[in-house]
Amino acid sequence: MEDIKGVLNINLEQEWEKEYKRLGEMYAFWGAVMVIIFYPTAIFPELKLAKNNETLWYMFRAMPSVVVGITLILYRTLKFKHEIVFEVIALAIFTAGSYRANCEDWIAHLINYIILFMTSAVLTVLKPYYYIINFIGVVILNVTFYMIFCQKSFYSFWTQRDSALFIVSGMASFAMAIFRYRILKNNFQQRFALRQAMNELTFKHTQLLDAQDELQNKNEEITIQNEQLKHQKEEILTQRDEIELQKNEIERKNRNIISSINYAKRIQEAVLPTKTDLKEIFKDHFVLYQPRDIVSGDFVWVIREEDYVIFAVADCTGHGVPGAFMTMLGSNMLNNIVLAKNITKPSEILQELDREVLYMLKQDTSGSQDGMDITLCHIDLKNRKMQMASAHNSLVYIQEETIHIIKGSIHGIGGNFEDSKVFENHEIDLSMTTTFYMFSDGFQDQFGGEKNRKYSSKKLYQLLYQNHLLPMEEQYNILHQEITGWMNGHIESQIDDITVVGIRI
């Protein structure tokens, strides 16, 4: 994220403050409305309870709706900060909740407070320090009310049966609220940075197209001028100078084109995992990553949690700058699906990724066929199990000298608007040493060899099996030498991005 901020020169914190204000105002209004409407219903579960003071009980249960209603009217009129609305709501409902209808009925009080804690965590958007202040205030309110209205000691509050559960549930709820705030902030900043990067790349790409058109026009002019030179020898020196100027202009524009593509490469590298990231997660692995152009339409994606790793290799539509657009879009969508939506089953991740690509690219109306082929694995480190699902790609794994090939769904991600897409989930037992390989189609589709044919999936599977017992670094060298030798000496250059990943567990 820091690399993207530096490349794009944007202030993500400033943009988040705007979004925070917008979300806060919306949540503050509807949170206040919900308190006004629904909080009085808290009376009903306690109607049959014996009450220490029925008048006070009615007053405290009715008070939040009145206070919040007045605050909402003032908020809509005076336009003060939404944090004030949240704090008034918190003060009102937690003050009311601190009053116990019956000092002996600790279960009802605890349930009531757990509901308040969870509701306040879900229906508020506040900076973390507000939640810390609110939690301390809630504890002080409960101790004070317990001592005043129940006429008990400070010490007895902490020795009652519900005090530990009260503190733990409060800390858990407010911690969840703080974590939710950070997730909202991180997802917004990632989406905003990606959107800015895509806009910048679109602008650069348009400039490149304009430059190419201009270069073509210049070349046509040069052709006409060369024909004229044959009949106008007296103008040779003048025309030579003009050609030199045009040549310099062409070289300058070509340098600009290369510079713009290198700019796109830096943005792409900032989004994708580094070699160091992968080495920390997979001690025994290799990655053969060979883009056809400066930027690539293939990408590797990984998320590491305490007990599991989710890893993917994807091949996006196209290559070069258009393919790079899709890699950044796909990487960001996977982050959102796994981290924000907490979807971790491979088949469900692919299902959601397909929906997001269709939605983001408006493929139900635009006619766009862009998408990606992807193999995605969920590795359970604790139980040594692996689940995988694949869209139009295959996974190869080898156990006890036996090679296994799992073919993916016939459907790719995106590309067409169908309700019938199904991505099957497969499970692999990792209790024994397992070497598995994931790849795009660039290696097996590369033309070369004596007859200038495709390398083929069959030859790739044989090559992987023959060398699977070797150290991963040697396997990488063999694959690199094989594809280089396959292409050398032939007219056909590299036709697609090439990615092969090997992992031994």
Q: Kindly report, residue by residue over 204-220, the tens digit of the pLDDT.
A: 888 888 888 888 888 88
443-456: buried (b, 16+ CB within 10 Å) or exposed (e) per residue?
A: bbebbbbeeeebbe
Percent share of the chain, pLDDT over 70:
93
What are φ and ψ of residue 26, in 5° steps? -65, -50
Find how far residue 39's CA is from the centre of its chain: 37
Residue 2 pLDDT more than 60?
no
349-387: buried (b, 16+ CB within 10 Å) or exposed (e) per residue?
A: bbbbbbebbbeebebeeeebebbbbbbbbbbeeeeeebb
> What confidence tier does 489 reach under pLDDT thresholds 50, 70, 90?
low
For 222, half-sphere exposure in the C-beta direction (CA atoms, 13 angstrom radius) is 16
> What confidence tier does 500 reach under pLDDT thresholds 50, 70, 90?
very high
Question: What tens digit of pLDDT does each residue of 123-159 get?
Answer: 788 888 888 888 888 888 888 888 888 888 888 888 8
> What confidence tier does 32 reach under pLDDT thresholds 50, 70, 90?
confident
Distance CA 340, CA 414 (A): 21
CATH 3.20.10.10 fits 272-504, yes or no: no
- Domain definitions of the chain by residue range: 2-192, 198-266, 272-504
Residue 492 pLDDT more than 70?
no
Q: What is the mean pLDDT of the chain?
A: 85
More confident residue, 143 or 231: 143
| Mean pLDDT for the stretch of residues 275-292 | 92
| Mean pLDDT for the stretch of residues 315-341 | 89
Distance CA 490, CA 172 (A): 64
Q: Residue 291: helix, strand or coil by DSSP?
A: coil
> What confidence tier does 36 reach under pLDDT thresholds 50, 70, 90?
confident
> What confidence tier does 42 reach under pLDDT thresholds 50, 70, 90?
low
| Mean pLDDT for the stretch of residues 486-505 | 86
| Mean pLDDT for the stretch of residues 404-423 | 85
Question: What tens digit of pLDDT does each residue of 333-354 get?
Answer: 999 999 999 999 999 999 999 9
Question: What tens digit of pLDDT does each residue of 151-198 get?
Answer: 888 888 888 777 788 888 888 888 888 888 899 889 988 888 888 888
What are φ and ψ of residue 312, in 5° steps? -145, 150
Question: The pTM is what?
Answer: 0.52
State the pLDDT at residue 490.
60
More confident residue, 291 or 237: 291
State the pLDDT at residue 132.
87
Residue 7 pLDDT more than 70?
no
